Amino acid sequence: METELILQKGRPADWEDRKETERAVYDLLDSLQIGYDRVDHEAAFTMEACAAIDRVLEPAAICKNLFLCNAQKTKFYLLMILGDKKFKTKDLSHQINSSRLSFAPEEFMEKYLGTTAGSASVMGLMNDRGNQVTLLIDEDVIREEYVGCHPCINTSSIRMKMDDLLQKFLPAVRHEYTSVHL
């Protein structure tokens, strides 16, 4: 039987049971005075598995967060795109002047974002202190009032205002973003 998903304000009460990376996200958001709502759930590895979670987080734009790299594995990108939107790497490659984009190996995701497959998130940029990852946000995502993402673990999801992400979070983690059209 499926567990009922409940939207909650802020950090979880069961603090000690959370991984350090997840706790670090809540600590940073709280220190930046960014309001967020949270829902805990079973591990979600696909957009299909996220359908019920998406309904709880409405009206947030729930994004696919794709960790990409160039053929030489010297440039890394985190792409935020609406969950139901398709894209062609050729179109994206042309916009960012990078040839032959592909999914980056998981070890680079762990190294730069501090996350594992299924947990890629814009929140992981807080772990990219060397600015090795370029954030790409589809213009349709930027137009949304709220955005949803994982707090560096795929057993929780949060929503926050897009303005807070762009104007508070990204400057605090010393990252900019590039708007792309997909």
**pLDDT score for 145:** 95
**pLDDT score for 47:** 61
**pLDDT score for 24:** 95
**pLDDT score for 48:** 66
pTM for the model: 0.91
Domains located in the chain, CATH noted: 8-180 (3.90.960.10)
Number of CB atoms found within 10 A of residue 94's CB: 11
**pLDDT score for 87:** 81
**pLDDT score for 57:** 86
Instruction: Give the residues across from 160 on adjacent strands.
Output: 147
> Which of the residues in the chain have pLDDT under 70?
1-3, 44-49
The span from the CA of 19 to the CA of 145, in Å, is 29
**pLDDT score for 1:** 33
